[in-house]
Amino acid sequence: MEGARLLFRVFVLGAVSLLASSSEDFGQRKGEFLQYQYEGNLGTSRIGMTVIREGNDIKGGHYFYQRFLKDIPITGSIIGSRITIAEAGGGAFHLHFVGNGSEADRPLDFENSVGMEGTWSNVDGTRTYPVSLHGTVVRPGAGDERRYREVTDESDERFEGRIRAFVQAVLSGDKRAAVRFISYPVRVNFPNDTSKNFRNSEAVLAAWTDLFNPALLMKLRRALPHDMFIRNGMVMLGTGEAWFDNKGLAALNVPAASEAIAQ
């Protein structure tokens, strides 16, 4: 039991702390492209953003809305801790780095910040919305390769499409459709430090309300099934609640009911 919960903590901590721990390591490799990934809100909309960095220069990237999951190309520039990011359609982000106090007296930058905040405005400045982003992960490369190549032979679009279909089925209550996207046996870790392998769809359906509790559903509603984190041959959705192999959902970490707080 403890091993299962430890695995859960490793998954989650590995994901949420990777920005801070890995950026310093990656920053020591000169002349390489790095992808800094963020997620958060633009106004009331959930968004994700990838900034491609070389040294202190922004070389490109993209952002996307949760409701569309389509990449919008971006370019950018940095002056001190201020970041200007322009999108292809003419809108622009005016952001600054955010720290957590561990930077001491050092100026904030990509490597010692934990996120970015500021505003987004449309091309003629008639609409302006607040933006708040927190860093999730740092990856090497310029983003021109298949993201999930170590997990599947499928295209990134097709693989993400299956994960989106699973999430949509769960959130809409279509249980029969959802269980078709599971890789059996699926490992489930419960919040009371117990775990169980469910070997077939009948077993999952019988325990459905225990597996997909309100806290998990809330987290799935906020998840961004695009540009997902990869570790040990599996892809993570959300903050570690669901992990997928090449066949489907392979591991589920059920959050405590107390985590079902409106956000």
* Per-domain boundaries in the chain: 18-140, 146-259
Looking at the structure, give the CATH architecture of the domain made up of residues 146-259.
Roll (3.10)
pLDDT at 18: 45
pLDDT at 257: 86
pLDDT at 43: 98
pLDDT at 260: 67
Tell me the C-alpha distance between 191 and 193, whole Å: 5
Q: 3: Cβ–Cβ under 8 A, 6 or more apart, which residues? A: none
pLDDT at 74: 97
Give the global pTM: 0.86
> 151 in helix, strand or coil?
coil
Separation of first and last alpha carbons in the chain: 30
User: Which tokens hold the place of 109?
Assistant: 């930058």
pLDDT at 165: 98
Looking at the structure, give the CATH architecture of the domain made up of residues 18-140.
Beta Barrel (2.40)
pLDDT at 103: 87
Q: Provide Rg for the chain, Cα atoms.
A: 19
What averages of pLDDT result for each successive group of 10 residues across the chain (263 residues)? 37 42 48 94 98 93 96 95 92 96 89 96 96 95 92 98 98 98 98 97 98 97 97 96 98 90 51
The answer to whether 139 and 38 are in contact (CB under 8 A) is no
Among candidate residues 214, 222, 221, the one with its CA nearest the CA of residue 256:
214
pLDDT at 162: 98
Could you give the residue ranges of the DSSP H alpha helices within the chain?
Answer: 2-16, 18-27, 156-172, 175-178, 201-206, 208-211, 214-222
Tell me the C-alpha distance between 198 and 188, whole Å: 8
